């Protein structure tokens, strides 16, 4: 995530923190955006949560553009970003300000029961995963809360289209209104029920 998009995410989290509700991120990877949410949550006195299975998205697997062999567990041969994520939080001094939910997003969303002040969707970039993240978590965004979607590229030449499609879906639902755009980061506010 480029710095200016990170600053936009931090601004959205700071605003959402005023609702007094937890904030949740889907897609942790090594924790860069989690640090931003945790710091905003700390300042607001709310909880930050991050959801990830820590085995990497499609584009992070061996042979793909964003593969990083340094996060492969040598014992089992699979990606494991959880240790790196934990070190990132420790270095930032924010371990006690975030709850790591380790598992698949749809499974965790199915048992989640409360409202959220902010949901940041930055998980898998296939239609299957992006839609599951949207359908699982958007219903939990409280009235006035924010839905933030990363990697929204209207032009397919710039990037994958699944995040763009859930962004368009959110707007078409009438439940969300766009309030900010910073390159591929979109911030939407819940203004009506539904998804």
Phi, psi of 150 (to 5 degrees): -100, 155
| DSSP character at residue 117 | E
Active-site hit among 53, 54, 97, 125: 125
Q: In what order do the strands lie in the sheet with 98-102?
A: 98-102, 48-52, 23-26, 116-121, 141-149, 185-190, 176-182
Phi, psi of 85 (to 5 degrees): -60, -45
For residues 35 and 60, the answer to whether their CB atoms sit within 8 Å is no
CB 139 within 8 A of CB 116: no
Q: End-to-end distance of the chain based on CA atoms, in angstroms?
A: 26
Active site residue 53: no
Residues 6+ apart with CB under 8 A from 2: 183
**Coil, strand or helix at 195:** coil
Whole-angstrom distance, CA of residue 139 vs CA of residue 51: 16
Enumerate the active-site residues.
125
């Amino acid at each position: 995530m480029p710095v200016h998009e990170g600053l936009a995410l931090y601004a959205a989290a700071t605003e959402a923190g005023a609702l007094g509700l937890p904030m949740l991120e889907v897609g942790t990877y090594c924790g860069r955006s989690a640090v931003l949410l945790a710091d905003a949550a700390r300042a607001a006195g709310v909880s930050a949560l991050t959801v990830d299975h820590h085995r990497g998205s499609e584009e992070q697997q061996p042979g793909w553009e964003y593969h990083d062999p340094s996060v492969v567990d040598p014992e089992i041969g699979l990606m494991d970003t959880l240790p790196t994520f934990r070190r990132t939080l420790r270095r930032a001094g924010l371990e006690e300000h975030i709850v790591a939910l380790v598992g698949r997003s749809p499974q965790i969303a199915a048992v989640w029961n409360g409202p959220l002040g902010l949901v940041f969707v930055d998980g898998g970039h296939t239609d299957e995963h992006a839609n599951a993240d949207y359908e699982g978590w958007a219903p939990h965004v409280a009235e006035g809360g924010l839905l933030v979607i990363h990697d929204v590229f209207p032009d397919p030449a710039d990037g994958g289209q699944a995040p763009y499609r859930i962004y368009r879906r959110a707007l078409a639902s009438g439940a969300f209104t766009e309030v900010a755009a910073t390159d591929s980061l979109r911030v939407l506010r819940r203004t009506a029920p539904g998804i």
